[in-house]
Structure 1
Amino acid sequence: MTNLSVVYISKNSEKHLSQSLASVQELADEILLVDCGSTDQTTTIAKNFGARVLHQEWLGFGGQRQFAVKSARYDWILMLDTDEILRPDARKLIFSAIRESSATGFYLLRQNYIGRKPIRYSEWRNDWVLRLFDRRDGCYDTQAKVHESWRGSGPTQRLPGVSIDHYPFAFLKEMLPKLQRYAELNAEKVYARGRFISAWAPMNHGLSAFLRSYILRLGILDGVDGAAIAWTTALGAFMKYAIAREMQLQDKENS
């Protein structure tokens, strides 16, 4: 008995959910799924696996995850996305970490895929995510609309080896809608800082993002997939600052 809650947030997330739930059944003392209005089979699948399902209207990524953490029955939390599958070897490491380590948070290494092809380089390499933690030691930023992460005050460690297989996109074309959503949310963050955004800022950030992903982080070695990641990363950076600048100019016109 580890007293561990495996926690998900979801909306229309049926695609990989069965595989993800199956991967944690031997580990979890509780599986909790917090859904914000799925119209597909997400909640039915979760209930068939014995998960406890709660409904909560969308609070933003940070707020939704914090609600889920607070709603869990146990203090140790493994936070997973519905398109993430825990590897069998990771289950043993998680058991040991909770029982034997003094750390209150653990980073898990994630292998990302496009379709079934693993991405070895670019922005997606060395993707360490803090997903296993003692909720008594911290919280999610409830104001974070995007790029939310667990913030704890205690010691953290990395679990060795790849723990999570992540399947965010079946096809390259699926990257574009997500790019748009994230660009808009990130633009709001940039705008909220209140700093002046020059006309050159979108281009500078976009070009830097492309060079970092494709050249410095060797995305070129992932072929077309690496190029697609680099270009979408660059476009996302460009649009983030372009939209934020547009918001500033609109404020100026209205003042």
Structure 2
Amino acid sequence: MSKPYPPISVFVITLNEAEHLDEVLESVRGVEEIVIIDSGSTDATLEIAKKHGARIVHNDWPGYAKQKAFGIEQCTHNWVLNLDGDEVLPEGGLQMIRERIAEGDINGIWIHHDDIFMGHSLTKARHHKYRRVYRKDRSRMDTSVLVHEHIHVDEPTAYLPIYLKHYGYDSAHGYMDKLNKYSKLKAEQRMEQGRPCSLPRLLVIFPLMFLKFYLGRQMIWSGWRGFIKANIDAFHFFLTEAKLYEMHYRQKHQQDKSKNE
């Protein structure tokens, strides 16, 4: 006799995610609970969520990590699957997750991102792994970070060959807008942590990160799209260093000005 499947809560944090949310929620059809954590959508996000039987909870935006920590708390089941409003679970993905957690020997599951860029997947690139499925009672969200939130999950964990279709990086313009915002948050976080600006790092970060993405992550196999995305990814790291330098530069000159007054 097969083991019963533990119930799963899917939670999604949203702010004007109408473009892809219908496909996202359709990809988890049949799941025991869908929770939408919304911070003030003005498009059709909430109507789409209601159509899929989701429970909607409003929470003013406190930051990425804190919003996801809040989302975990709203889930009524111990096993949770976290999706963003532009991430689609592939066909059969939910069943694979159900079967794996039913074995009862793990606390979390790693799955992949499959980034859509300029309308198509970067199919030959090496994809990031993320812990998007985990037990509430064996995990902790690091709420000290401003961006690129991290969930700590007790071992053992497992990997499944599931590739989330990720629309968030589709256009060069939209991707640059996101990375411009992320780089500011990362620089502010490092400033708060008292981490100094490194001029050697500022000098070498762009070429090193370009090589990491273009060759190490194998974006070279995605033609000119891969070349463009590798440059954008590398520039994100350069921009973070540049903004950190600017913050230190302005702070020093303000301090010098105060001393001279």
Shift of 1:191: 2.1
Residue 189 of structure 1 deviates from its aligned partner by: 2.4
Task: Encode CA deviations 1:22-69: one digit per residue, 9 max, x unaligned.
Answer: 11012x110000000111000110011100001000111100000000
1:234 alignment partner AA = A
- Aligned residues, how many? 251
Structure-2 separation of matches of 1:87 and 1:52 = 23
1:230 is matched with 230
Alpha-carbon separation, structure 2, partners of 1:144 and 1:196: 17
Would the aligned equivalents of 1:89 and 1:163 in 2 still touch at CA under 8 Å? no
Please provide the CA RMSD for this pair.
1.6
Of 60, 69, 72, 2:72 maps to 69
Post-superposition offset of 1:229: 1.2
Tell me how far 1:115 sits from its aligned partner: 4.2
CA distance in 2, matches of 1:164, 1:180: 24
Residue 139 of structure 2 corresponds to residue 135 of structure 1? no
Question: Is the 1:60–1:143 contact (alpha carbons within 8 Å) kept by the matching residues of 2?
Answer: no
Work out whether residues 130 and 150 of structure 1, in 8 Å CA contact, stay in contact via their aligned partners in 2.
yes
2:258 counterpart residue number: none
Q: Tell me, in whole angstroms, the C-alpha distance in 2 between the residues paired with 1:106 and 1:218.
A: 24
Segments of structure 1 that go 5 or more residues without pairing to the other structure are none
**Contact 2:115/2:169 (<8 A) preserved:** no
Shift of 1:132: 0.5
The letter of the residue matching 2:91 is P
Secondary structure of the structure 1 residue equivalent to 2:95 = helix
Name which of 12, 19, 24 aligns with 2:23.
19
Residues 66-91 of structure 1, C-alpha deviations (whole Å, 9 max, x = no match): 00000111111000011111112212
- TM superposition shift of 1:19: 0.7
Normalising by structure 2, we get a TM-score of 0.91
- Kindly indicate whether the alpha-carbon contact (under 8 Å) linking 1:114 and 1:167 is maintained by their aligned counterparts in 2: yes
Give the 4+ runs in structure 1 shifted more than 4 A.
none
**Matched residue, 2:259:** none
Shift of 1:7: 0.5
Equivalent position SS for 2:116: strand
For structure 2, the residue ranges without an aligned partner over 5 or more in a row are 256-261
> What TM-score do the two structures reach when normalised by structure 1?
0.93
Structure 1 position 111 matched with structure 2 position 127? no
Which one is further off, 2-11 or 219-228? Answer: 219-228
For residue 31 of structure 1, give the secondary structure of its aligned residue in structure 2: strand
Larger Rg: 2
Query: Paired residue for 2:6?
Result: 2
Report the counterpart of residue 53 of structure 2 in structure 1: 50
1:174 aligned partner, one-letter code: G
Aligned mates of 1:203, 1:120 — CA distance in 2: 31
The answer to whether structure 1 residue 100 and structure 2 residue 103 are counterparts is yes
| Superimposed CA distance per residue, residues 166-198 of structure 1 (whole angstroms, 9 cap, x where no aligned partner) | 122342222111121011011112223323323
Over the matched positions of the two proteins, sequence identity in percent amounts to 29
SS at match of 2:109: strand
Q: 1:121, 1:217 within 8 Å by CA — same for their partners in 2?
A: no
53-62 vs 163-172, which deviates more?
Answer: 163-172
